[in-house]
A and B are shown apart, each in its own frame.
Chain A
Amino acid sequence: MAKTVSFLLVDDDADDTSLFKEVLEEVNPSVVFNSAEDGHQALHYLKKDGGTLPDIIFLDLNMPRMSGKECLTEIKRDEKLHDIPVIMYTTSSQSKDIEETMQKGAICFITKPTNLNDLKSILSSISGNVHSNLQKTLRVLSDTANTFIVC
Chain B
Amino acid sequence: MILIVDDKQENLFSLKALLQLNLYDADTADSGEVALKKILRNEYELIILDVQMPGIDGYEVAEIITGYSKSKDIPIIFLSAVNIDKRFIAKGYTSGGVDYVTKPFDPDLLLLKIKTFSKLYRQTKELNDIKDNLEQKVEERTAELKQLNIHLEASNSQLQQYAFIASHDLQEPLRKIVTFTRILKERFSEKVPEANEYMSRIIASSERMRTLISDLLDYSRIEMDRKFVLADLNKIVSQSLTDLEIIISEKNAEVVVEQLCPIEAIPEQMAQVFQNLISNALKFSKQDVTPVLRISAELIKEKTIESKLSANGKYCRIKVTDNGIGFDEIYLDKIFGMFQRLHSKAEYSGTGIGLSITKKIIENHSGLISANSKENEGSAFIIILPVKQATT
Contact = CB atoms under 8 A, between A and B. Distances in A.
Interface of A: 13, 15-16, 19, 91-93, 95, 112-116
Contact of A15 (B171, B176, B182): B176
A92 B175 CA distance: 11
Contacts of B265: none
A91 B172 contact: yes
B120 interface: no
A112 B182 contact: no
B168 A116 contact: no
A61 to B, nearest CB: 10
Contacts of A95: 268
B367 to A, nearest CB: 22
Contact of B171 (A13, A19, A91): A91
Contacts of B186: 116
7 contacts: A13-B172, A91-B172, A91-B175, A93-B214, A114-B178, A114-B179, A116-B183
A127 to B, nearest CB: 20
Given A114-B178, A114-B179, A116-B182, 20 more contacts: A13-B172, A15-B176, A16-B176, A19-B179, A91-B168, A91-B171, A91-B172, A91-B175, A92-B168, A93-B214, A95-B268, A112-B175, A113-B179, A114-B175, A114-B182, A115-B179, A115-B182, A116-B179, A116-B183, A116-B186
Nearest to A93: B214
Interface centre among B182, B186, B268 (most CB of A within 10 A): B182
Interface of B: 168, 171-172, 175-176, 178-179, 182-183, 186, 214, 268
A15 B173 CA distance: 10
A95 B214 CA distance: 13
Nearest to B179: A114
Contacts of B175: 91, 112, 114
A16 B268 CA distance: 31
Contacts of A116: 179, 182-183, 186
Which 5 A-B pairs rank lowest in CB-CB distance, beginning with the nearest? A114-B178, A114-B179, A91-B172, A91-B171, A114-B175
A116 to B, nearest CB: 6
Contacts of A91: 168, 171-172, 175
Contacts of A15: 176
Nearest to A92: B168
A114 B211 CA distance: 14
Contacts of B214: 93
A114 B186 CA distance: 13
A5 B220 CA distance: 42
A149 to B, nearest CB: 16
A122 to B, nearest CB: 14
Contacts of B172: 13, 91
A116 B171 CA distance: 17
Nearest to B186: A116
Contacts of B176: 15-16
A22 B168 CA distance: 26
Nearest to B185: A116
Contacts of A16: 176
Interface centre among A113, A114, A116 (most CB of B within 10 A): A114
A146 to B, nearest CB: 10
Contacts of B179: 19, 113-116
Contacts of B182: 114-116
A113 B182 CA distance: 11
A19 B186 CA distance: 14
A132 B357 CA distance: 43
Contacts of A113: 179
Nearest to A22: B183
Contacts of B168: 91-92
A95 B267 CA distance: 13
A95 B183 CA distance: 29
Nearest to A95: B268
A91 B214 CA distance: 11
Nearest to A15: B176
A93 B211 CA distance: 13
A5 to B, nearest CB: 24
B302 to A, nearest CB: 34
Contacts of B171: 91
Nearest to A119: B179
Nearest to B178: A114
A28 B176 CA distance: 23
A116 B9 CA distance: 112
B270 to A, nearest CB: 14
A92 B165 CA distance: 12
A93 B217 CA distance: 11
Contacts of A115: 179, 182
A13 B179 CA distance: 14
A25 to B, nearest CB: 15
A34 to B, nearest CB: 22
